[in-house]
């Protein structure tokens, strides 16, 4: 299992073999997920890969077992990522992964993301005063 938090730099591609019902959460910036159903690996030229774009704070639950390529920053078609305020590195994106075997972890990840976004909005509003 790949449960945990991963920091990805702009333009970085990371691959994971993920099980069905695994939750992916884009914490600090946009991500592009590209995958193909593992049950159809024996048809490499017939099945086109599925591409999902996740905005900052968005979550996606895998509908099938698959090898997933996760791309950040350049090449996502969504800009260069976050400013690095939470990650400490300019443009770094934090990715949270939770398997279906740990039902409490996705709820905690989503709660953390909601709190972080509320704090960011409050700081942004106060900066203009």
CATH number for the domain that contains residue 23: 2.60.120
Lowest average pLDDT, out of 8-12, 17-21, 29-33, 73-77, goes to: 73-77
Confidence of residue 96 (pLDDT cuts 50, 70, 90): confident
Question: In the predicted model, is pLDDT for residue 34 greater than 90?
Answer: yes
* Mean pLDDT for all residues in the chain: 76
* pLDDT given for residue 80 in this prediction: 46
Domain limits at 60? 4-127
Per the structure, how many domains does the chain have?
Answer: 1
3-state helix, strand, coil split of the chain in percent (to 5) is: 20, 35, 45
Write the CA distances from 123 to 28, 30, 85, 117, integer angstroms: 15, 20, 12, 10
Confidence of residue 32 (pLDDT cuts 50, 70, 90): very high
Q: Which of 41, 18, 17 is nearest to 100 (CA)?
A: 18
* pLDDT given for residue 1 in this prediction: 54
């Amino acid at each position: 299992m790949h449960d945990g938090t991963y920091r990805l730099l702009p333009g970085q591609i990371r691959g994971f073999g993920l099980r069905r019902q695994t939750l992916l959460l884009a914490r600090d910036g946009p991500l592009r997920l590209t995958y193909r159903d593992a049950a159809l690996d024996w048809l490499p030229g017939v099945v086109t890969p599925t591409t999902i774009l996740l905005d900052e704070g968005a979550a996606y639950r895998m509908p099938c077992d698959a090898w997933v390529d996760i791309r950040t920053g350049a090449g996502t078609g969504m800009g260069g990522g976050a400013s690095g305020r939470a990650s400490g590195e300019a443009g770094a994106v934090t990715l949270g992964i939770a398997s279906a075997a740990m039902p409490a972890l996705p709820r905690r990840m989503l709660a953390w993301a909601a709190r972080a976004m509320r704090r960011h909005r409050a700081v942004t509003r106060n900066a203009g005063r």
